[in-house]
Amino acid sequence: MRTGRTVFSQLLDFLPKHQFDRCVHRYRGNHRIRTFSCFDQYLYMMFAQIMYRQSLRDIEICLRATQAKLYHCGIRGKVSRNTLAKANELRDWRIYADFAQVLIARARMLYADDDFGVQLDRDVYALDSTTIDLCLTLFPWATFRQHKAAIKIHTLMDLRGSIPSFIRITDGKTHDVNILDEIVLEQGALYAIDRGYLDFARLYIFTQNLCFFITRAKSNFDYARISYRSVDKSTGLRCDQTIRLAGYHTSQDYPAVLRRISYVDPDTNKKLTFLTNNFTLPAMTITKLYKCRWQIELFFKWIKQYLRIKSFFDTSVNAVKTQIWIAISVYVLVAIVKKELKLEMSLAEILQILSIMLFEQVPMEQVLMNNVPQNVICQSRKQLYLFNL
């Protein structure tokens, strides 16, 4: 069954074009541009992410091979490697960052009622970062070590649907705790934070803003026990205590009391110690919530494996951020497609199917539901002939 529209063209129906135009207008992205708009640039880079292209020349060759179908896909600009390289270098990356936030807001609404493993009536976030190694000669601005360059992608992820709600891209030398100063905290929300973000002065801001955190304690931190609660040690719990920090500086940075929970993982036999400012949730729920933080590690693994963010088409700061933000928007777009079409398959399966069916003229719903009709007329061997010759 042919629809006259390619799968790529149908995929664009999930993009709010008017919102994209607002982002372009905000930063004057199309100022003095006649033939290759910001939307054309976005579609080129979106194609490169879905098809996992290796370079600008690779993008150019593949798109020119399908030149006759590009107009019907919504691509109006001329396919040129130099034009795309110049656009990635000069056009403000914030256009695509703002548009990614538009898609993120839409995806979070779609996944607001999803279950992530723990039944809670509040928003739960996971905070972590991933490092992408780069060549110091090609990326001298991405300072990390003496003979090595890198960038960090700091991400605050909503555990319902694994949708990133906050992203910052910095050089490799930026310490993780500095990102806590940029996060807008939500009252009543709960944040599962890696041990690398342990800074008691910044964590006290969570308490002052009436939101909660769960993090892991370091082995040498000093504290005084105030009280304790009984625990069921058959579940792996070892203690549930109310403590106060005893160190000279830490007690001034965090003057309030904390909750300390010790737990032994039955699978790895590893002892874990959690710190939180939440005194109402059961101790076992606290451990499960921190275990759910692993979803953000799976998110980093997913985008590195299925999207083009470990190697870049250009070396400038603007081009790198543009490529990363468009990759994030593709991830969120696939999540939106999955939810709105009510698909059961994983995001990886959806992206892989799209990559091989992108220019086919069949309904996208049938493609993703593995229900593509075969236009082949098969003559039954048991069918009798009307006339015997």
With a pLDDT cut of 70, the percent of the chain lying above it is 93
Residue written as tokens 């399908």? 66
Q: What is the mean pLDDT of residues 276-294?
A: 93
* pLDDT of the residue at 362: 87
The pLDDT tens digits of the residues spanning 165-181 come to 999 999 999 999 999 99
Q: Is the pLDDT of residue 68 over 50?
A: yes
* pLDDT of the residue at 252: 93
Q: What is the mean pLDDT of residues 67-81?
A: 73
Question: pLDDT tier at 248 (50, 70, 90 boundaries)?
Answer: confident
What is the spatial distance between Cα 44 and Cα 65, in angstroms, rounded to a whole number? Answer: 14
* pLDDT of the residue at 379: 43
* Average pLDDT along the chain: 88
How far CA 246 is from CA of 201, 249, 254, 257, 262, in Å, comes to 14, 9, 10, 11, 18
Q: Are 292 and 124 in contact (CB under 8 A)?
A: yes
Phi first, then psi: give them for residue 250, nearest 5 degrees.
-65, -35
DSSP conformation letters of 94-105: HHHHHHHHHHHH
Q: What residues does 157 pair with on adjacent strands?
A: 126, 164
The pLDDT tens digits of the residues spanning 356-383 come to 988 888 888 888 887 554 443 344 444 4
* pLDDT of the residue at 381: 41
Q: Is the pLDDT of residue 386 over 60?
A: no
The pLDDT tens digits of the residues spanning 313-363 come to 999 999 999 999 999 999 999 999 999 999 999 999 999 999 998 888 888
CB-count burial class (<10 Å; 0-12, 13-18, 19+) for 192: buried
Q: What is the mean pLDDT of residues 124-129?
A: 94
The pLDDT tens digits of the residues spanning 15-39 come to 999 999 999 999 999 988 888 889 9
How far CA 67 is from CA of 2, 57, 60, 80, in Å, comes to 19, 15, 10, 12
* pLDDT of the residue at 146: 85
Give the start-to-end residue ranges of the domains of the chain: 7-95+316-368, 195-292
Q: What is the mean pLDDT of residues 132-154?
A: 92
The pLDDT tens digits of the residues spanning 195-244 come to 888 999 999 999 999 999 999 998 888 899 999 999 998 899 999 999 99
* pLDDT of the residue at 389: 43
Sign (positive/negative) of CA torsion 209, 215, 218, 223?
positive
Q: What is the mean pLDDT of residues 93-116?
A: 94
